[in-house]
């Protein structure tokens, strides 16, 4: 079996700092923000499937309360299944995220827009310049560097770079001039964190179950973290996610003696107070279930901290997958149940009203 360090997934996880550093200096934030502002839409929809949908959830939760266009995270899987329930009323800007840009739901959303809301503006963010999202007529397109087009099964650099790209365009607390430095800071911090993450992962016993928790945007970062563990372990390591306060309301029953818990902590004082209370409670109630409280080198607003926390789960998932003897780049090889680009989705025609 190929050593973990030689797998595409491991290389793609560790390529993230260099990708962020370079792309953050290249992305024309000012021009893209001006284009969005000129649309004067009441809402901006953040759409994708799986990890690409979680990008929207992190952003919508993390930037909640901003003035201007309301941010709404709506999965393409929801819209494609029920297009008439969504695609009506005044125009919204629909931002589609897609690593391959070729998934059935990405195409289905654009088809549904053509049928039901042809005047709605669209912005497609993809890692594949040769994809449907990149080539679709009538859409504005951001093609990320080819290095983001992960060859491995799990989305790693594609997830983080699409997330940071959209944050640069939508976070009003950051000016276009400040954007390159934010990317550079994140790249520097992840460069320092990755060796520590790898050492921690190698020193831990693989858990029977894993739990990832956070608040606000970091709850959805926890969702992506849990997905990475389940994907790369081919479902053999069940993983749960929840918010720090929501976890007590039933999901805590998931914890047993073989569970490891990871809490992605906020840098907001009030939020952190609730998370500290939960940490004390979990340590008391589950002394045999390790509670991990990862530290970041410096504070960031919740959505910007998300890719640094998710990178920890990427490393954990890859190390655990390798320890189980799976092909880290394709844990479902030979099974035909899950594929890198979701298969077996048949699109049904959308009838105009």
Q: Where along the chain do its domains lie?
A: 4-182, 197-323
274-307 residue pLDDT tens? 999 999 999 999 999 999 999 999 999 999 999 9
Cα–Cα distance for residue pair 107/101, rounded to 1 Å: 8
Percent of the chain beyond pLDDT 90?
93
224-278 residue pLDDT tens? 999 999 999 999 999 999 999 999 999 999 999 999 999 999 999 999 999 999 9
Which tokens is 34 given? 């001006």
Handedness of CA 139, 142, 145, 151 (dihedral sign): negative
Supply the CATH classification number for the domain 4-182.
3.40.50.10490
4-19 residue pLDDT tens? 999 999 999 999 999 9
Give me the pLDDT at residue 345, please. Answer: 75
Closest Cα partner for 25 from 165, 157, 146?
165
Which tokens is 235 given? 């479902």
Domains 4-182 and 197-323 share a fold: yes
Who contacts 159 (Cβ-Cβ below 8 Å, separation ≥6)? 51, 52, 54, 55, 99, 224, 307, 310
Q: DSSP letters of 288-301?
A: TS-EE----SS---
Give me the pLDDT at residue 338, please. Answer: 66
How far CA 136 is from CA of 89, 107, 170, in Å, comes to 23, 9, 23
Supply the CATH classification number for the domain 197-323.
3.40.50.10490
Closest Cα partner for 56 from 70, 71, 73, 43?
73
Out of 138-142, 145-149, 342-346, least confident range = 342-346
């Amino acid at each position: 079996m190929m050593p973990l360090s030689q797998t595409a997934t491991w290389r793609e996880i560790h390529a993230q700092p260099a990708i962020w550093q370079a792309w953050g200096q290249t992305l024309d934030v000012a021009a893209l923000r001006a284009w969005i502002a000129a649309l004067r839409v009441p809402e901006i929809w953040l759409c994708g499937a799986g990890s690409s949908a979680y990008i929207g959830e992190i952003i919508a939760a993390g930037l909640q309360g901003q003035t201007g266009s309301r941010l709404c995270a709506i999965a393409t899987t929801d819209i494609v299944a029920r297009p008439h329930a969504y695609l009506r009323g005044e125009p919204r800007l629909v931002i589609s995220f897609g690593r391959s840009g070729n998934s059935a739901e990405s195409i289905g959303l654009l088809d549904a827009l053509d049928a039901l809301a042809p005047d709605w503006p669209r912005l497609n963010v993809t890692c594949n310049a040769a994809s449907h999202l990149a080539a679709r007529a009538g859409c504005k397109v951001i093609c990320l560097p080819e290095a983001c087009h992960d060859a491995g099964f799990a989305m790693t650099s594609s997830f983080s770079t699409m997330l940071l790209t959209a944050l640069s365009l939508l976070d009003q607390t950051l000016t276009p001039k400040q954007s390159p430095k934010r990317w550079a800071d994140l790249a520097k911090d992840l460069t320092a964190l990755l060796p520590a993450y790898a050492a921690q992962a190698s020193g831990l016993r693989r858990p029977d179950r894993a739990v990832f928790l956070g608040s606000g945007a970091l709850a959805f970062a926890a969702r992506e973290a849990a997905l990475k563990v389940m994907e790369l372990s081919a479902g053999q390591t069940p993983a749960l996610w929840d918010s720090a306060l929501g976890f007590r309301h039933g999901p805590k029953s998931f914890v047993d003696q073989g569970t490891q818990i990871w809490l992605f902590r906020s840098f907001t004082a009030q939020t952190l107070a609730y998370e500290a209370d939960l940490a004390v409670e979990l340590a008391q109630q589950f002394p045999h279930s390790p509670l991990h409280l990862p530290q970041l080198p410096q504070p960031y607003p919740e959505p910007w901290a998300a890719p640094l926390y998710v990178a920890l789960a990427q490393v954990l998932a890859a190390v655990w997958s390798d320890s189980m003897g799976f092909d880290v780049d394709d844990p479902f090889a030979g099974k035909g149940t899950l594929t890198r680009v979701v298969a077996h989705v048949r699109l049904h025609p959308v009838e105009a009203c």
